[in-house]
Amino acid sequence: MNYDIVVVGSGFFGLTIAERCANELGLKVLVIDKRDHIGGNAYSETDPVTGIEVHTYGAHLFHTSNERVWRYVNRFTSFTPYVHHVYTTHDGVVYPMPINLGTINQFFHASYTPDEARALIAEQAGELAGQDPQNLNDKGISLIGRPLYEAFIKDYTGKQWQTDPKDLPASVISRLPVRYTYDNRYFNDTYEGLPTHGYTAWLETMVDSPDIDVLLSTDFFDESQPYHRAALVGRVPIVYTGPIDRYFDYSAGALAWRTIDFTTEYPETGDFQGTAVMNYPDLDRDYTRIIEPRHFHPERDYPADKTVIMKEYSRFAEEGDEPYYPVGTPEDRRRLLAYRDLAAREEGVVFGGRLGTYQYLDMHAAIGSALSVVDNVIVPHVRDGVPFD
Ligand code: FAD
Ligand code: NA
């Protein structure tokens, strides 16, 4: 074995581990990925028709309040001043999201002050006062009142889950933020922006080291290729960022995920919707939102007469689908505990990232979590011989 460590999966979690091991710890690193490109879900490519950068696995907005992560990512890319905003089309009218004073005044055709709006929403949210919400529908009403819930949340959530919110557990939402100002900036983080030269240039810079080899189209469970599970486990430290249930051959059952189907269209205009993300919360359309990626980079010289859009359709993932968002039923949580137990006992293998831990992780969270694994597991192993598990 010519490698000091093997990383399975080249998403932000795996690449952060690989980069630190090579450039900070001087290790020889092998990264394998079953896809034919690096970057996991953050990968982007140039649309062949328009030349516009498209996010292949769904729109990715970088944002963080973590100083360490922000300093770290700036070693590989600069960021544009892009600030994310989302709009929503309900009943033929466009409103700003998340729900803010602008949304409220437009919806009620009013000019409420912050205090008046707060009092109104509190009164409407009191409809089910004293009752413990039994499902997502009651929970939504008790958080923001029936009118706003039914307009902007109910059917949108129903489409996301392909399930009537009355049949979804209240735990699917813990809070519905309402802002009593006109601020409709989508993220609240200190830092925000898009990588100036695109995600793929950023990801490639991370592995640009003579001490990192990358093998693409290589599945860790494919025993016909040399770097598979049975050949490696116990012989070399492994950081595994693929699905945790797959690693253990689904012995405790498959963990459930939601996936998204994207359709790409080329409307005959240079600007289809005037903004990057338009939500469609109503049942008259079966997609949940439309992304128009040209608006992520207004600073770029994109063609003025062409554009590309993606419609997003949400559904439960089946075998072979891309796992995007953990479902997280009580059954899933029981299975996850069983897998965590097995993972803790699997010597020489550390499980990380969104698939390896079965949790939704934003990019900054995946990167921050990988930096912690370097600090807490890999450095003690390399410097002091602490077991790698
Ligand atoms: P991934 O990026 O999923 O990487 C895992 C890699 O492991 C994949 O490349 C996969 O091919 C590989 N792999 C799996 N199994 C095997 C195997 N058997 N053998 C070899 N390789 C294998 N984050 C944000 O900060 N902002 C956003 O706006 C945002 N939007 C998102 C939208 C969607 C639809 C999704 C799904 C995620 C979004 N994220 C966003 C999250 C972001 O994609 C994650 O931070 C990132 O995916 C986490 O990186 P990861 O390395 O843990 O996982
Ligand atoms: Na382990």
Q: Does residue 309 form part of some domain?
A: yes
Q: Please give the helix or strand (H or E) that residue 86 lies within, else none.
A: strand 86-90
Beta bridge partners of 29: 5, 212
Q: Ligand 1 pocket test: which of 36, 83, 202, 241 has the largest number of ligand atoms within 8 Å of its C-beta?
A: 241
Q: Does residue 203 form part of some domain?
A: yes
In a shared domain, residues 134 and 68: no
**Last-in-domain residue among 316, 337, 352:** 316
Are 44 and 54 in contact, with CB atoms under 8 Å apart?
Answer: yes
Identify the nearest ligand to the CA of 288 by its number.
1
Distance from the alpha carbon of residue 273 to the mean position of ligand 1, in angstroms: 28
In a shared domain, residues 10 and 67: yes
The response to whether residue 193 sits with its C-beta less than 6 Å from ligand 1 reads no
The response to whether residue 9 sits with its C-beta less than 6 Å from ligand 1 reads yes
Q: In angstroms, rounded to a whole number, what is the distance separating the alpha carbons of residues 186 and 326? A: 22
In a shared domain, residues 104 and 220: no
User: How far is C-alpha 1 from the geometric centre of its chain's CA atoms?
Assistant: 34
What's the CATH code of the domain at 68?
3.40.50.720
Each of the 389 residues of the chain gets a pLDDT tens digit; together they read 799 999 999 999 999 999 999 999 999 999 999 999 999 999 999 999 999 999 999 999 999 999 999 999 999 999 999 999 999 999 999 999 999 999 999 999 999 999 999 999 999 999 988 888 889 999 999 999 999 999 999 999 999 988 899 999 888 888 898 999 999 999 999 999 999 999 999 999 999 999 999 999 999 999 999 999 999 999 999 999 999 999 999 999 999 999 999 999 999 999 999 999 999 999 999 999 999 999 999 999 999 999 999 999 999 999 889 999 999 889 999 999 999 999 999 999 999 999 999 999 999 999 999 999 999 999 999 999 998 98
- What three-state secondary structure class fits 161? helix
In a shared domain, residues 73 and 196: yes
The number of distinct structural domains making up the chain is 3
Distance from the alpha carbon of residue 388 to the mean position of ligand 2, in angstroms: 7
The response to whether residue 361 sits with its C-beta less than 6 Å from ligand 1 reads yes
Q: Does residue 160 form part of some domain?
A: yes
Catalytic residues: 175, 179, 258, 289, 312, 360, 362
pLDDT of residue 247: 98
The beta strands (E) that lie in 78-149 are given as 86-90, 93-97
In a shared domain, residues 244 and 101: no
The response to whether residue 42 sits with its C-beta less than 6 Å from ligand 1 reads yes
pLDDT of residue 323: 93
Residue nearest to atom 51 of ligand 1 (CA): 11
Q: In angstroms, rounded to a whole number, what is the distance separating the alpha carbons of residues 219 and 8? A: 9
**Last-in-domain residue among 281, 316, 351:** 316
pLDDT of residue 74: 98
Q: In angstroms, rounded to a whole number, what is the distance separating the alpha carbons of residues 195 and 30? A: 25
In a shared domain, residues 158 and 279: no
**Ligand 1 atom at minimum distance from 15 CA:** 51
* b/e map 202-229, b = 16+ CB within 10 Å: bbbbbbeeebbbbeeebbbeeeeeebbb
pLDDT tens profile 277-298: 999 999 999 999 999 999 999 9
The response to whether residue 220 sits with its C-beta less than 6 Å from ligand 1 reads yes
In a shared domain, residues 245 and 274: no
Q: In angstroms, rounded to a whole number, what is the distance separating the alpha carbons of residues 372 and 21? A: 13
In a shared domain, residues 345 and 204: yes
pLDDT of residue 23: 98
Residue nearest to atom 36 of ligand 1 (CA): 324
pLDDT of residue 302: 98
The response to whether residue 8 sits with its C-beta less than 6 Å from ligand 1 reads yes
Print the domain residue range for 229: 5-81+192-254+327-384
The response to whether residue 247 sits with its C-beta less than 6 Å from ligand 1 reads no
Q: In angstroms, rounded to a whole number, what is the distance separating the alpha carbons of residues 322 and 90? A: 29
**Last-in-domain residue among 104, 138, 172:** 172
Going from the C-alpha of 54 to that of each of 188, 307, 346, the distances in angstroms are 24, 11, 38
Q: Does residue 178 form part of some domain?
A: no
In a shared domain, residues 283 and 309: yes
In a shared domain, residues 101 and 145: yes
**Ligand 1 atom at minimum distance from 324 CA:** 36
In a shared domain, residues 209 and 166: no
In a shared domain, residues 275 and 232: no
Q: Does residue 185 form part of some domain?
A: no
Q: Ligand 1 pocket test: which of 188, 192, 351, 363 has the largest number of ligand atoms within 8 Å of its C-beta?
A: 363
Q: Does residue 331 form part of some domain?
A: yes
Q: Does residue 187 form part of some domain?
A: no
pLDDT of residue 274: 98
Q: In angstroms, rounded to a whole number, what is the distance separating the alpha carbons of residues 13 and 375? A: 14
Residues whose beta carbons lie less than 5 angstroms from ion ligand 2 = 346, 349, 389
The response to whether residue 168 sits with its C-beta less than 6 Å from ligand 1 reads no
pLDDT of residue 171: 85
pLDDT of residue 129: 84
Q: Does residue 389 form part of some domain?
A: no
